[in-house]
Amino acid sequence: MSKIFPDFQTFLDTRDGDTIGVTKVTLTNQVNHFNLPKSTDARILAGVFGETLPNFYLNAGRSRFSMDGITSDIGKKFTVVSRHRGSLNFNNEDAS
């Protein structure tokens, strides 16, 4: 499993205890992951209607988002939207 670093990432505080994140990543291997601390939910947005997406999941601690692609997905860019509970502090993120 390869750790990838976002091409772009931004967060919006909705002021009701949730923070919404938008992360753009490029797959570099068949199995990739990146940190999303305090995640309660995350999804990949399809670039076009009906597009086949790689399998994805949050780890048990809900701090890491993993994407299982296929060889044809390597080099492809994806947009991930996530919801986080409470404030985020990426300096103290769970590295698991």
Q: What is the CATH number of the domain that holds 61?
A: 2.60.40
In a domain, 95, yes or no: no
pLDDT band, very low/low/confident/very high, at 31 (cuts 50, 70, 90): confident
**Pick from 86, 80, 96, 95: nearest CA to 9:** 80
Number of domains into which the chain is organized: 1
Q: How far apart are CA 23 and CA 26, in angstroms?
A: 10
pLDDT digits (tens, 9 = 90+) for 40-78: 999 999 888 888 888 899 998 888 999 987 778 888 899
In a domain, 27, yes or no: yes
In a domain, 7, yes or no: yes
Whether the pLDDT of residue 12 is over 50: the answer is yes
Domain span at 39: 2-87
Tell me if 44 sits within 8 A of 6, measured CB to CB. no
Rg (CA), the chain: 13
Please, what is the average pLDDT of the chain? 84
In a domain, 9, yes or no: yes
Contacts of 81 by beta carbon, 8 Å cutoff, 6+ apart: 20, 21, 22, 23, 42, 43, 45
pTM: 0.82
Q: What was the pLDDT predicted at 92?
A: 47
In a domain, 96, yes or no: no
Rama region for 41: left / alpha / beta (φ>0; ψ in -120 to 50; rest): beta
In a domain, 92, yes or no: no
